[in-house]
Structure 1
C-alpha cells in the first residue's frame, strides 16, 4: 500500500530495546486481528516499508503471504524469511500464525555474518527440516529470555551475542544451498565482486568500464564473466538495479519522476524516462498509476 510520502517508510524495528536489536514472539489468527496490544511490528507490517536493520521471521505455524520488492511469496511453517534493510515489503495475508521476529542493525552484527547476508541478498523464504527447526526454536527461546533480563550488567552483550547466533543459524541454512567459495569459477568470483560494487555504487556509476576499472580487469573480460555466470550483460544488471530502486520509489513514495531520476543519478530526465520504459515496457507514470491502491 503506497503512502503519501517523499521517502519509503522505515519501521524502527531494531530499536525496540534502544540497543539496535529487537526480538518478539507473537501469535494471531489473521492479519486484521486486533488483539495484539504488545506488538506493533505486524500491524505496521501491513503497510509497505523497510526496516532499520536486518530482519528475520521464524514462522512456527500457519501461513503468510508477503510481497518483497514486487515478488509475492506464500510461506508455510516451518520456515525462515530474511529481509535486507534495503528491501521494501508488506504482509498481504496470514492465517493462524505463530512467529518469532528479530532484527539487528549493521553495527551489532558480526562483520562476517554481515558479509554473508549481503552475499545472499535477495534471499527467498526458506523451508526448514524438523531438526533445524527444533534447534532454531531453542535458540530463539534463549534469546527471548536474554531480552527480558534488562537489569543484567552485560545485557547488551547477551542480547547481541544470542541474536548473532540466530543470524548465523539462518545464514548457514542459505549457505547449504549455495556453492562453497572454493568451487566458484573465475567467472563467478568476478561476478560476485561486480555485484558487490554495483550495490554500493549504482546511483553514481552507470558505465561498465568504471566497474571493470575498480576490479582491475578489462571491460570485455568483465562482460564475459558476468554473461557467462548469469546469462546477462553488465549493462543489464546495472539497469535492473537502478530500475528496481525506481519502482520502489514510484510505488512507495510520492516523489515526482524527475525527483526520482535525480535521486538515482540521472540529470538527464528524458533519458531516465526512456530507460524505464525500455526495461519495464511501460512509462514510469504508467507503472505508478497501475499500482495505485
Structure 2
C-alpha cells in the first residue's frame, strides 16, 4: 500500500486519556469486539508518543521492532522506546497488560535509566516477579476507572511510575551489575549514550573521543573490546537504522533522508548504505513495500 506520509507515523497512545498516561488489560477477543480498526492499529507500523510496556500473561505475540522479530511468551515483559517503530505480525490467545507514559510524566531518573537500556528485548520474569507486576498493573487499571478527584492524576502518575520502576529493575538485574563493569564497559556505555544523542551531526570517532576526553585509539579499543565492533561501525549502524525507518515509513527521497541524517554527500551515503546492508537504499524500500 503506498505511504502518503513523509515521516514515520506516531500514534498518540498516551494522550487519549488526557493525562499523558494510559493503562489497560486486553485480550484477542477484546480487540475483535473493537472491530477491524483495532486489529489494523496493532498490525500497522508505527511509533508511540510515549514509553510503552507490555506484560504478557497468556498466549504468544510475534512483534517486529526496528526490523528485528521477537516472540513474546507468557510471563514476559517488553519495553519499547518512543523512537522505535514496531508492529505485531501475529498473536494467539493473548492476554496482555499494557501501559504507556510520556516523558513529562516520568520520574526523571527513570527516564534516564530507560534511555540506557534501549533497545530492550523481551524479558522473561520469574513467576513471583510477574505476579507482583501484574497485580500492580491491575491496581493502576482500577485507578483509571475511579471518578477523578483532586489526587486522581497524581495517584495514577505515581502508580504508573512504580510499574515502570519495577520493569526497569528487572532489566537492570539482567544486565551486568554496575560494580562489575570494567573501565572499557563504562567508556563504551558513555559512547553509546553520546551516539544516540548526536548521530545525525557527529560522524567521526575523533569527535566522540574528544567529548569523552580520551584518545581515538583508546576509545576504539574500549568499544571494540566490549562489542566486537569499531566506533565507526557503531556510528554507521545507528545512522543506517534511522535510514531504514525513514525508507520504510516515509515518502522522503533517499537524498532527503541522507540530508536529514547529516550527509550532504549523497553518493557517499548511498555507498555506505549498500555496504552496510547488502542492498541499495531504493532496493531496501522496494523490497519492504512489497
- Both structures adopt the same fold (TM-score exceeding 0.5): yes
CA distance in 2, matches of 1:197, 1:110: 21
SS at match of 2:33: coil
**Can you give the 5+ residue segments of structure 1 that lack an aligned partner in the other structure?**
none
* Contact in 2 for aligned 1:45/1:91 (Cα 8 Å): yes
CA distance in 2, matches of 1:43, 1:140: 25
* Contact in 1 for aligned 2:80/2:120 (Cα 8 Å): yes
Alpha-carbon offset, residue 265 of structure 1: 0.6
Q: 1:149 aligns with which of 146, 150, 155?
A: 146
Q: 2:60 aligns with which of 39, 57, 63?
A: 63
- Residue 27 of structure 1 corresponds to 27
User: Residue by residue, what CA displacement relative to the aligned partner does 1:80-134 show, whole Å, maximum 9, x if unpaired?
Assistant: 1110111000000111111111001111111111111111111111112211111
Say whether residues 1:204 and 2:211 are aligned partners: no
- Residue 226 of structure 1 corresponds to 223
- Residue 34 of structure 2 corresponds to 36
CA distance in 1, matches of 2:132, 2:89: 29
- Residue 240 of structure 1 corresponds to 237
Alpha-carbon offset, residue 150 of structure 1: 4.3
Q: 1:290 aligns with which of 276, 283, 287?
A: 287
* Contact in 1 for aligned 2:97/2:134 (Cα 8 Å): no
Number of residue pairs the alignment of both structures matches: 290
Q: 1:166 aligns with which of 153, 156, 163?
A: 163
CA distance in 2, matches of 1:225, 1:252: 35
Alpha-carbon offset, residue 175 of structure 1: 1.1
- Residue 130 of structure 2 corresponds to 133
- Residue 47 of structure 1 corresponds to 44
- Residue 7 of structure 2 corresponds to 7
Change (3 A) 1:223 1:41: farther
**Can you give the 5+ residue segments of structure 2 that lack an aligned partner in the other structure?**
none
SS at match of 2:28: strand
CA distance in 1, matches of 2:39, 2:215: 48
* Contact in 1 for aligned 2:133/2:166 (Cα 8 Å): yes
CA distance in 2, matches of 1:34, 1:170: 29
CA distance in 1, matches of 2:88, 2:7: 19
Give the root-mean-square deviation of aligned CA atoms: 1.7
Q: Normalising by the residue count of structure 1, what TM-score does the alignment of the two structures yield?
A: 0.95
- Residue 111 of structure 1 corresponds to 108
CA distance in 2, matches of 1:187, 1:40: 48
User: Residue by residue, what CA displacement relative to the aligned partner does 1:210-265 show, whole Å, maximum 9, x if unpaired?
Assistant: 11111111111111111111111100000000000000111111111011001101
Q: Normalising by the residue count of structure 2, what TM-score does the alignment of the two structures yield?
A: 0.96
Alpha-carbon offset, residue 40 of structure 1: 7.0
* Contact in 2 for aligned 1:13/1:41 (Cα 8 Å): no
